Amino acid sequence: MIERRDRIFHLQNDSASYLFRAAEHGFLEHLYFGPPVSTDDAEAFAVHPGTGWGCSVLYNDADNAASYDILPLEWSGSGRGDYRESPVELRRGGQPLSTEFRFCGAEELERDEMHASLPKSRGGQTLAVTLEDTHAKLRLTLLYGVLPTAMTRRAVLENLGEEPVEIRRLMSQMMDLSGSFTLHSFTGGWIAEARHTRTPVTQTASVLGSTTGSSSNRCNPGFLLADPEATEDSGRVYGFNLLYSGSHYASVQKSLQGRTRVMQGISPVNFAWKLEPGDRFETPQSVFSCSEKGFNGLSEQMHTYILNCLIPPYWNGRSRPVLFNNWEGTMFSFNEQKLLRLARHARRIGCELFVLDDGWFGARNSDSSSLGDYSVNRKKLPGGLSGLAEKLRRQGLQFGLWFEPESVSPDSELYRAHPDWVLSDASGREDLMGRHQLLLDLTRPEVRDYIVKQVSDTLDSAPISYVKWDMNRHSCALGEKQHAYILGLYDILGRIFGPRPQILLESCSSGGNRFDCGMLYFSPQIWCSDDSDAIERLQIQNSLSYLYPQSCFGAHVSAAPNAQTLRHTPLPTRGNVSFFGCLGYELDLELLPPVELAEIRAQIAYYQLHRQTFQFGRMRRNKAPDGALVWQVTGKDETLVGLYHELMHAAPPYETLFVAGLDPQKRYTMASRPQLLRVGAFGGLLRYVLPVALNPNGLVISTADAHYKMKDGEQTVTASGAAFAAGVALSARYLGTGYDANGRMQSDFGSNIYLVCEEKTGGET
């Protein structure tokens, strides 16, 4: 809902009110962003600058309080006395251009007509507030969107003058919030994405962002500002994100007056955009939300927004197939026979989609050649893609394919034919390479047309139901083309996948190097990280869950020891972590012992049974025992809870499992998922339970280990919803005093999944 009263504007949805007004001198004053209030309350939130602060530059020399610097604002210009960070920086004729934008008018729009290529939130109402700087001859339109669980903002700048203006910085939004906060950001790097960092917000600015040309694995564009006392279920939390996949920027800084200025947009580093007379520049949308119900409340609102208003509607609520991907199993070294053998295993264990990763085209037997040449390598695949797809179809598997269309190998037909198609440094300096590849210049229409044609022709040449769109290196030659590159990328994605909505697009960039709301507009899921180690993934998926729903996470079970960490995580835990995402398997299935294949078959069957809940249930992070994490998803008639431990310590205490959101009056039964406990996990300890002393490294034990499993942590509890909310007692962990068939006999990195359903009459679940 959007309410206007005189010069007061009130945006409201179920969780929040956002109030601002056009104040004296025409500046937009930020009044309030928090739990719903009435428009009548607006005045109550206005600050009273009294006799003003010293050292202020004044709009009225007789009024010490008439300073731009001390008002909570919705937007600030530059060089006119607000010395806090400005969201705009312009130049005209090579000189800095000062700006002060004053209110001109506002209107509700039927539709927010955005730049055709920029991702846009779907639905909602839009308010356009127009400001002008008559001296600088500029018009600034601030567009506010109101959606059921979030709000959006973006800015459009128009040059009304006769001379070009250079935009050096134009943020999507800026606001001066009231309150004290802790900043929660998600930073890292390759195979170490989304590490949760907490920083107190003070007068020392905190700056988040990326300058790589993509949203990057260094700092996710999404962040939170939370009441320092907020918990998962209480306290005020604001979440911010950006519908953009290029270099981004956000800053958070508290003023002396106690207001926190937060802004977010395209990174100003190396940014320059020439705005010719009569032209307009549009920023991407920033999306934000506020909850009084702690981090989980905020997460739920952001998840709902992403599912209902951002991802391609075709994929909202639509089951994602359990996939097998050959990358970690084979890398580049495969042929059709090997793929078909893997496919046979994959089908037997229950996979539904076979994804052929890198290496199927040109002469790509390593990462040193062929990017750009998407013609099938007939030595590896004599029957071509359609031949392979047909064989997979006969086995009952759908077919998915990997591409890296933005890049080119210097050793490729494409590069030899069009060496000028790569991004080149404006000063003539050679671009630097990484992984033996360069980036194509997506700002050129002929390059975009080429990519659209190559990928579309391939997609139309075989029944391909899934695409993994990879992008593995940045270019140092992007320079001022960085924004145009991203617009080019969006144009390409829109042209390829717009007409093919039924193709499931999973984007990837060396894992999570472009995990953002811009990509989610086109691809409903993203490969979170090249780190497939379940324990690392636990942290990565946990961090991402603050802002993104679990159906956005490509989550695969890979081999142990893990290729990124050398960790031996038990197979059940590898499955239990991947369950909270779009499940896949990425390992050489031919190398697994029967007992592991049986465990995987059981994992997939369990996941398929509860797939809708795992993928689209309401996800929350629950109170957890020390050193553990607990995730919960709640679907139509069931709740699933995952409990994950990291390191084992001797004599572990009793543990309690909390299940939230059940009806306190009803009775529920909780049952653990039966899972594999390897015989070999006990090594030489087996002599205590076996009638004969066997060599733990001998044939009998290794044969038993490959074929048989022991019982682990199988537990059933029936109790009221109130009892589950208060916490029910779990079976004991391994206590160092012997095997307990009813206990959780796990060491480091043990985990369990519990299914909670309403008790059926007759006591059955």
| Residue 652 tokens, joined | 């572990």
Residue ranges in 58-97 that form contacts with ligand DGJ under rule CB under 6 A:
none
The minimum distance between CB 615 and ligand DGJ, in angstroms, equals 20
Residue ranges in 490-549 that form contacts with ligand DGJ under rule CB under 6 A:
508, 510-511, 527, 530
370 vs 752, beta carbon nearer ligand DGJ: 370
6 is catalytic: no
Q: How many residues does the chain have?
A: 765
- Catalytic annotation, pick one of 112, 357, 530, 533: 530
Question: Do residues 168 and 480 lie in contact, with contact meaning Cβ atoms separated by under 8 Å?
Answer: no
Question: Do residues 21 and 8 lie in contact, with contact meaning Cβ atoms separated by under 8 Å?
Answer: yes
DSSP string, 32-59: EEES---GGGHHHH----TT--TT--BS
Cα 69 to Cα 18: distance, rounded to the nearest angstrom: 21
Question: Do residues 743 and 732 lie in contact, with contact meaning Cβ atoms separated by under 8 Å?
Answer: yes
Question: Do residues 282 and 154 lie in contact, with contact meaning Cβ atoms separated by under 8 Å?
Answer: yes
Question: Do residues 462 and 384 lie in contact, with contact meaning Cβ atoms separated by under 8 Å?
Answer: yes
SS3 484: helix
327 vs 354, beta carbon nearer ligand DGJ: 327
Of residues 232, 357, 516, 599, which one binds ligand DGJ by CB under 6 A? 357
The minimum distance between CB 381 and ligand DGJ, in angstroms, equals 17
The minimum distance between CB 512 and ligand DGJ, in angstroms, equals 9
Cα 520 to Cα 714: distance, rounded to the nearest angstrom: 38
Rounded to a whole number of angstroms, the distance between the first and last alpha carbons of the chain is 43
| Residue 103 tokens, joined | 């209110």
Total number of residues that touch ligand DGJ (CB under 6 A): 11
The minimum distance between CB 513 and ligand DGJ, in angstroms, equals 8
301 vs 409, beta carbon nearer ligand DGJ: 409
158 vs 358, beta carbon nearer ligand DGJ: 358
18 vs 527, beta carbon nearer ligand DGJ: 527
- Catalytic annotation, pick one of 373, 470, 533, 705: 470
Which residues, including other chains, have CB under 8 Å from residue 755's CB and lie 6 or more apart? 610, 638, 639, 640, 670, 671, 672, 673
DSSP string, 315-378: GTTPPPPPEEE-HHHHTT---HHHHHHHHHHHHHHT--EEEE-S-SBTT-SSTTS-TT--SB-T
Residue ranges in 454-473 that form contacts with ligand DGJ under rule CB under 6 A:
470, 472
The single-letter DSSP state of residue 727 is -
Question: Do residues 744 and 752 lie in contact, with contact meaning Cβ atoms separated by under 8 Å?
Answer: yes
470 is catalytic: yes
193 vs 300, beta carbon nearer ligand DGJ: 193
Question: Do residues 675 and 713 lie in contact, with contact meaning Cβ atoms separated by under 8 Å?
Answer: yes
Letters for 664-703 (x = contact with ligand DGJ by CB under 6 A, - = none) are ----------------------------------------
The minimum distance between CB 190 and ligand DGJ, in angstroms, equals 9
Q: Positive or negative, the Cα torsion across 59, 60, 61, 64?
A: negative
**Could you write out the three-class secondary structure of 54-91?**
CCCCECCCCCCCCECCCCCECCCCECCCCCCCCCEEEE
Angle, CA of 319, 321 and 327, to the nearest 5°: 145
Cα 509 to Cα 519: distance, rounded to the nearest angstrom: 11
132 vs 531, beta carbon nearer ligand DGJ: 531
190 vs 708, beta carbon nearer ligand DGJ: 190
Q: Which whole-number Å values give the CA distances from 697 to 250, 559, 707, in the listed order?
A: 56, 21, 15
Of 623, 517, 537, 628, the residue nearest 295 (C-alpha): 623
The minimum distance between CB 29 and ligand DGJ, in angstroms, equals 46
82 vs 470, beta carbon nearer ligand DGJ: 470
Of residues 232, 352, 358, 705, which one binds ligand DGJ by CB under 6 A? 358
Letters for 317-356 (x = contact with ligand DGJ by CB under 6 A, - = none) are ----------x-----------------------------
358 vs 599, beta carbon nearer ligand DGJ: 358
Specify burial of residue 24 (Cβ count, 10 A radius: 0-12, 13-18, 19+). exposed
402 vs 682, beta carbon nearer ligand DGJ: 402
The minimum distance between CB 554 and ligand DGJ, in angstroms, equals 9
132 vs 406, beta carbon nearer ligand DGJ: 406
Partners of 449 in the beta sheet?
none
The minimum distance between CB 422 and ligand DGJ, in angstroms, equals 19
Q: Which whole-number Å values give the CA distances from 272 to 79, 170, 209, 213, 248, in the listed order?
A: 19, 10, 17, 14, 14
Cβ neighbour number for residue 340 with a 10 Å cutoff: 15
Cβ neighbour number for residue 56 with a 10 Å cutoff: 17
Residue nearest to ligand DGJ (CB): 358
Residue 361 φ/ψ, nearest 5 degrees: -130, 165
Letters for 386-425 (x = contact with ligand DGJ by CB under 6 A, - = none) are ----------------x-----------------------
The minimum distance between CB 555 and ligand DGJ, in angstroms, equals 13
The minimum distance between CB 329 and ligand DGJ, in angstroms, equals 12
The minimum distance between CB 371 and ligand DGJ, in angstroms, equals 9
Specify burial of residue 512 (Cβ count, 10 A radius: 0-12, 13-18, 19+). buried
SS3 204: coil
The minimum distance between CB 440 and ligand DGJ, in angstroms, equals 17
Amino acid at residue number 743 = G
Cα 139 to Cα 102: distance, rounded to the nearest angstrom: 9
Could you give the maximum distance between any two Cα atoms of the chain, in Å?
98
565 vs 765, beta carbon nearer ligand DGJ: 565
The minimum distance between CB 678 and ligand DGJ, in angstroms, equals 28
- Residues marked as catalytic: 470, 530
Contacts to ligand DGJ by CB under 6 A: 327, 357-358, 402, 470, 472, 508, 510-511, 527, 530
